[in-house]
Amino acid sequence: MLRHGRLLRLGIRQKVALVLLTALLVALTANTWLTLRSQEREVLDEANRRGQELSYFIAQNLANSVVGYNYHAIEILLAELVKNEDIEYARVLSARGNNMAQAGTESSGADIVRFRQPIRLGNDTVGELHMGLSTQRIVAKLERARHDSILRQVIITLLVLLVEFAALSWTIIRPIRVISNALHRDDGDTLAPTPRTISLRSSDEFGEVAARFNRLHGELHDAHRLLRSRIDLANSELQEANARLTSQTDELKRVNRELGQLAVTDPLTGLYNRRHFELLMENEVVQSIRGDETISIILIDIDHFKDVNERYGYRVGDEIVRRVAGAISERIRRSDVACRFGGDEFFILCRHATIAASLTIADELHDAITAQPMVVGSQSIAVTLSLGIATLPCTEAIDSAEQFFKCAEIALHFGKRNGRNHVAHYSMLDKVQRSQIL
């Protein structure tokens, strides 16, 4: 893949040169191979023909010597024969197959062409001539021819490549390069390109392409200018719309925050409301039971609040509720959560508060609110509170927020039954007292 990518990054000159070189090499290699094969066949055929003629001629000259068993004459003739550098060996066999004479050494090389020629005298075969013809000179000749052919091939390839490359560079590559350079000029702003043309004077297809490109580019430039003006106008309108949308989104977020706050906040006191209290109780009680964590709840009720409303009016009653809520907010811990349960009832969730800690919180809150009368307008009103407390873990099995709240409610009602203005913890009540409340 890497090599292929590098090939694709070659310029058109290199690609054309590579294609031409490949085509020439393939064509010339094929031509050279076919020519050498033809020459090889012709030379081998000639060697075979020469060997046949020579062996036939020698066999005829040996006939009388073989019949007369003139071994000396046979050996002289064979010795003269192998002096020829192409004759590797020569051997004469009698009609019975006996070796009569031999000159040279017979080898098993692949470059030896062997001939067997019968020695005849009239119509009778009196012996047989074995002769080995060496093809080394022939092979050397073929090798020289191959080297010469390769050299010619290289020279011809280079000459043809140079001529064709020069012609292609002027007629094809130069126009393409001119067009490519024009197309690759960087205008910076793609939406408003500067007018440009391809400077190419040619009567062929490249000149026609350049002329069409110049016309098309002019049309595109006009279209780009019109498009840019419309885009600028649309951008301006979009920015104004975005500004309005951002303002509306911010306002919507603010309203949503206020609505979300109102959904869990008591509008009179600013404390959390009953809805938030119920969700909070469910989660806190479940976590306390699962994690064996200590929590306490304090229920607060303003004593005789109905009488206050009837005697002084609801506005005074609301002001007393607000002041009690303010005192609660000021005196609870940062980890505690205060809620207005409804009417004159309040609820405080005290995380990690033991029985003793919850009693301390309740007593301090009770003393702070009831220590002095509240002055509302021209009225001085003595306000007292009843507080009921429950703590988890509890002496009884509690598995729900409803049961836990019920324990605090029992403690609250116990305090009211015992004269009001009282702090009571559920753990301080015995079974009889609890059953009386129930």
SS3 203: coil
Q: Is residue 163 part of a domain?
A: no
Question: Quick count: other Cβ atoms within 10 Å of Cβ 182?
Answer: 17
Q: Are residues 291 and 345 in the same domain?
A: yes
Residue found under tokens 């011809």: 156
Q: Are residues 427 and 278 in the same domain?
A: yes
Using CA atoms of 265, 271, 275, 279 in order, give the dihedral in degrees to the nearest 10.
120
Q: Is residue 284 part of a domain?
A: yes
Q: Are residues 128 and 22 in the same domain?
A: yes
Q: Are residues 389 and 349 in the same domain?
A: yes
Q: Distance between CA 223 and CA 191 in Å, rounded?
A: 10
Predicted confidence at residue 97, as pLDDT, reads 81
Q: Is residue 147 part of a domain?
A: no
CATH code, domain carrying 117: 3.30.450.20
Q: For residue 145, what are its two tokens?
A: 């021819």
Q: Is residue 154 part of a domain?
A: no
Q: What is the value of pTM for the model shown?
A: 0.47
Q: Distance between CA 22 and CA 18 in Å, rounded?
A: 6
Predicted confidence at residue 17, as pLDDT, reads 66
Predicted confidence at residue 220, as pLDDT, reads 79
Q: Distance between CA 218 and CA 195 in Å, rounded?
A: 7
Predicted confidence at residue 180, as pLDDT, reads 66
SS (H, E, C) 378-428: CEEECCCEEEEEEEECCCCCCCCHHHHHHHHHHHHHHHHHCCCCCEEEHHH
340 secondary structure, DSSP code: E
Using CA atoms of 273, 274, 279, 281 in order, give the dihedral in degrees to the nearest 10.
110
What residues form DSSP beta bridges with 337? 349
Q: Are residues 109 and 23 in the same domain?
A: yes
Characterize 311-336 residue by residue with b for buried, 16 or more Cβ atoms within 10 angstroms of its Cβ, and e for exposed.
ebeeebbebbbebbbebbeebbeeeb
Q: Are residues 336 and 407 in the same domain?
A: yes
Predicted confidence at residue 178, as pLDDT, reads 67
Q: Distance between CA 104 and CA 112 in Å, rounded?
A: 13
Overall number of domains in the chain = 3
Residues of the chain whose pLDDT is less than 70? 1-17, 20, 109-110, 165, 168-196, 199-204, 206-207, 258, 260-261, 438
Q: Are residues 105 and 133 in the same domain?
A: yes
Predicted confidence at residue 361, as pLDDT, reads 95
Cβ atoms of 322 and 254 closer than 8 Å: no
Predicted confidence at residue 151, as pLDDT, reads 80
Q: For residue 365, give its domain range.
A: 274-437
CATH code, domain carrying 425: 3.30.70.270
Predicted confidence at residue 383, as pLDDT, reads 94
Amino acid at 49: R
Using CA atoms of 37, 43, 49, 54 in order, give the dihedral in degrees to the nearest 10.
-150
Q: Are residues 254 and 288 in the same domain?
A: no
Of 331, 343, 342, which is closest to residue 368 (Cα–Cα)?
331
Judged on CB neighbours under 10 Å (0-12, 13-18, 19+), 390 is buried
Q: Are residues 323 and 353 in the same domain?
A: yes
